[in-house]
Structure 1
């Protein structure tokens, strides 16, 4: 007699059912793990897409800021050039007035530049 025949058929059916139920529980558990993993991957993908979009926006803003800074630098250089020209023109204009004032002081005091300066400084200081 075969040793497998010693076990009744209902025991074999019960063992087969238990194995089937165990396998089904394992499949259900793996499906839950798969769903969790898919959700995690989807969330990570959404975050990655949001980060890439933010990065693109920041790159655009940095480009705009760089253009604005370049414009401001150029405007500063232009103002500086205009200021130099105006300063030189004012210096030339003031030089004529300065020389005239020196001549007047020298004529008034007697021609000595040092004496003229001493007199003017003394008057300013109240001496």
Structure 2
């Protein structure tokens, strides 16, 4: 240990400071590396979140469009049903006279041949 006594005390202090400073520098570099890795992971997470939000907004738009299309289809179906009811009512009204004439033909049996009876009733209906 004689050689250690030959080195002045201030040199030992400088060596100690260099050792502590070097250790701290290694620690800082390691922490900076960890920070870069955490930032990369955070950026990855943020990118995924942005992609999810974009997908969500796209899906919301599509759902809105589908709901509008369904509402249009429902309205068109209701309009067709209402129109069909009107046409059916009109057809019933127009056919009522024919139904009544047919019923009269069936009810009026004037003795003799059924064909002759039907012919006379038809002639009367037609005004012949």
Residue 56 of structure 1 and its aligned partner are, at CA, apart by 0.4
Alpha-carbon separation, structure 2, partners of 1:94 and 1:8: 124
2:16 to 11, 15, 22: 11
Alpha-carbon separation, structure 1, partners of 2:52 and 2:106: 77
Q: Which residue of 2 aligns with 1:74?
A: 79
Residue 27 of structure 1 and its aligned partner are, at CA, apart by 1.7
| Runs of at least 5 residues in structure 2 that lack an aligned partner in the other structure | 1-8, 113-128
Q: Which has the higher contact order (CA 8 A, sep 6+)?
A: 2
Alpha-carbon separation, structure 2, partners of 1:9 and 1:101: 131
Alpha-carbon separation, structure 2, partners of 1:108 and 1:15: 135
Alpha-carbon separation, structure 2, partners of 1:6 and 1:57: 75
User: Which string of whole-angstrom CA distances, capped at 9 and with x for unpartnered residues, describes residues 87-123 of structure 1?
Assistant: 232233111221232022xx339xxxxxxxxxxxxxx
Residue 15 of structure 1 and its aligned partner are, at CA, apart by 1.1
Residue 58 of structure 1 and its aligned partner are, at CA, apart by 2.1
Q: Which residue of 2 aligns with 1:49?
A: 54
Residue 26 (structure 2) pairs with residue 28 (structure 1): no
Alpha-carbon separation, structure 2, partners of 1:32 and 1:103: 103
Residue 7 of structure 1 and its aligned partner are, at CA, apart by 4.5
Task: Please list every run of at least 4 consecutive aligned residues from structure 1 whose deviation after the TM superposition is greater than 3 angstroms.
Answer: 4-8
- Which TM-score applies when normalising by structure 1? 0.71
- Corresponding pairs, count: 104
Q: Which residue of 2 aligns with 1:114?
A: none
